[in-house]
Amino acid sequence: MTALSVNVNKIAVLRNSRGGAEPSVLKAAQTAIAAGAQGITVHPRPDQRHITPDDVLALARLCHRQGVEYNIEGNPFASARGSYPGLMDLIRQARPTQATLVPDGDGQLTSDHGFDLHKDADRLLPYIRQLKESGVRISIFMDAGTPDLELARQLGIDRIELYTGPFAEQFGHGDATPALALCRQSAVQALQLGIGVNAGHDLSQDNLGALLAAVPNVLEVSIGHALIGEALYAGLEPTVKNYLAICRHR
């Protein structure tokens, strides 16, 4: 079964839009875990427009206590500024199950491409070594069809997270066959190299089943934007359970 990691960034967006403590990121995570989610994902950004460093640490304590996976996403090159201590320092403090490295720029609205390892491998290597020394599983955000999987193996990457935005866009237009073929190609190659496969971005109840049916051995999907949007209408607990049912019947 593919594991579901619920991204709670959007809960923090709502909270921050008004100030104060509601809606509670911690309570949303607790609800998702109680509904059966196997993990929680956050993507703290330097501008703290949603998840804050305090959220990262509070969620770490919750996930460790509940025995579920904790996945922290972000750009390892993002340095400390103001009250943001930098991604690597947050990971050091939180000790998540997994760190997913994403090549987001500071002003980027959302993730929209994977790493180019031919360009970034040398810069990434010290961070990868640091994560390995800490015992944190390393995932790296990659485009479907990437030619860089052998480089990922050489760097010691444990998993890739396939960027599924193009798949979701094609699915919405009625034919996702080309994007699914690239996702499958990359997943098969990764598995042959001993690299695990995660997937994420713009996944929803509408398109998740098609992805899991076409792409072999996806270990984990990280879903936030669509899941939280759907939960506004159906409730968070039933929405998480709907996703888990899709993951079970891949």
Q: Spell out where 125-212 has E strands.
A: 137-143, 159-163, 196-200
* Dihedral pair phi/psi, residue 6, rounded to 5°: -90, 120
Residue 250 has pLDDT above 70, yes or no: no
Distance, in Å, from the CA atom of 68 to the CA atom of 160, rounded to the nearest integer, reads 20
| Strand boundaries in 32-122, DSSP class E | 39-42, 69-74, 98-101
What's the pLDDT at 225?
Answer: 95
The pLDDT, as a whole number, for residue 249 is: 78
Give this prediction's pTM.
Answer: 0.95
pLDDT band, residue 109 (cuts 50/70/90):
low
Per residue in 11-50, pLDDT (tens digit) is 999 999 998 999 999 999 999 999 999 999 999 998 888 9
In terms of phi and psi (left: phi > 0; alpha: psi -120 to 50; beta: otherwise), the region of 148 is alpha
- Which residues participate in catalysis according to the annotation? 43, 73, 201
In this predicted structure, the answer to whether residue 243 has a pLDDT above a threshold of 70 is: yes
For residue 104, the model assigns a pLDDT of: 77
Percent of the chain past pLDDT 90, that is, above it, reads 88
Give the list of residues 6+ apart from residue 61 with CB closer than 8 angstroms, or none: none
Query: Average pLDDT of 79-98?
Result: 92
Output the domain CATH number for residue 146: 3.20.20.70
Average pLDDT over every residue of 215-235: 97
Using N-to-C axis directions, what is the helix angle for 53-66 and 87-94, rounded to 10°?
30
Confidence at residue 29, expressed as pLDDT on a 0 to 100 scale? 98
- Give strand ranges (E) for 44-167: 69-74, 98-101, 137-143, 159-163
- Helix 25-34 and helix 236-248, axial crossing angle in degrees, nearest 10: 40
The mean pLDDT value for 151-170 works out to: 97
Name, in order, each residue with C-beta under 8 angstroms of 109's C-beta and a sequence gap of 6 or more: none
pLDDT digits (tens, 9 = 90+) for 201-217: 999 999 999 999 999 99
What's the CA gap between 120 and 135, in Å, rounded?
A: 22
pLDDT at 181 > cutoff 60? yes
Range of the domain at 227: 3-248
Number of domains in the chain: 1
